[in-house]
Chain A
């Protein structure tokens, strides 16, 4: 590993009266990278809770499998070298994110393989935390999706639905778009046609809003708006946008993550969907429904928990801005035209490929430095 810092270890023998040594500076910020990681993991718990509430035991099984497999893989690649790195929390966070990104119906070898690949190949092969250039969670998910396209997207019916397999909103939409004639339908209409059974809560709230707030204006929300919003539809375990946003808000408040990357990412995605989204569903210009695509699927989780991953995101502010736009564009393309999952994970790993280039391009060396290694 790396050379030790020039600080004599705290337990070095020294006269009890004499003060302790230590290199300057003698003050440090409170927030450590270890605490950052664990805070990020903790902030995902609400989303996980809702997932378990909606899908029950299968959700627990999937998340547990990914989590355990990630930890095991980390141990297997560190213990033989007499190192213990589980404490830094990165393996746990990776496992947790993988579990939340996958649907509850996935057979257990999917989360297991995703975690194993993410930790063993993507992270540890390059020397562990901080040396990997690709996000282990998203890379692992992409690997699993490529290996078992069907199994990795088997979503099951959430609480209050007739039990059994069920299409995610995006799958339903793609199915509808693939068959001719149904092009004019808006996403929620498609869902209704696909036989979604929306909750009573949804109908109640939407009904109330329509009668009391919107009807005077001659507007009306569709059935299912609320369900899609809170994530009470078949899909990934951790797909509840509001809860994820809640956790992310906490992280932003504690400055564990910075706002630039997620906000630009989501912003550019929304703009692109507004302008071109309609074309994809054959509704012409500026007729897309960014809300639907924003809320259903893993976009929010990717934007707040994968994109700003410090290890795999650009070092410089300029780089963050550029990557944000690129990620938004990629997600838009892959979600509307692609076939690999819902595009968020794939967009992130593609962005990771670009990040080292951005670092080289956007970091301006001080005048004193001549054209150096890069």
Chain B
């Protein structure tokens, strides 16, 4: 998955990296919706492709929006049922998944088989959640001095990160912190990509 694409999909989701648990919920939403919507669109495409009237342009966009938004709504309902607090804290950002996954999908070349496109979607979702998780851990650990997970048995759900909890770097927990972390994450990804590219081009032209 290309760096630019990953970043593009991260941008709206990055707001939910103030705590680790939020990032996990967001990741779940992105994975689910992108996977299912991709499958649905793919199926529809293939069926309509057989008939001569393949929808295009605005119609196509409308259909995609419809699919992803309905799926998102379903996810929201599910989240509300599972954990009302989580759905409350997701606020306006869970509905945004609808347009978000669509933006990603639109920039993907059409895959040859259904399995391919599905696995592609899954891969994208996983990449996004991994990045979200990294940013979230970094931000919450430094910005709040905690790492919030599920309460499970004796474990009360939050890990305290040493002395930071007393004087956390609050600025990293703020919106700016999210942009900052995403920025340096993007830098790292870009550096890796360029290194790969230069390593690849090493063969033909020595520099």
Contact = CB atoms under 8 A, between A and B. Distances in A.
B169 interface: yes
Contact of B174 (A121, A146, A148, A151): A146
Interface residues of B, number: 8
B171 A147 contact: yes
Contacts of A149: 170
B167 A109 contact: yes
A143 interface: yes
A100 interface: no
B167 A151 contact: yes
Interface string B159-180: 0000000011111101000001
Nearest to B168: A147
Contacts of B171: 143, 146-147
Contacts of A98: none
A113 interface: yes
Nearest to A150: B167
A22 to B, nearest CB: 33
A129 B174 CA distance: 27
A114 to B, nearest CB: 11
Contacts of B169: 113, 147
Nearest to A145: B171
Given A146-B171, A151-B167, 15 more contacts: A107-B167, A109-B167, A113-B169, A121-B180, A143-B171, A146-B170, A146-B174, A147-B168, A147-B169, A147-B170, A147-B171, A147-B172, A148-B167, A148-B170, A149-B170
Interface of B: 167-172, 174, 180
Nearest 4 CB-CB pairings of A with B: A147-B171, A146-B171, A147-B170, A147-B169
17 contacts: A107-B167, A109-B167, A113-B169, A121-B180, A143-B171, A146-B170, A146-B171, A146-B174, A147-B168, A147-B169, A147-B170, A147-B171, A147-B172, A148-B167, A148-B170, A149-B170, A151-B167
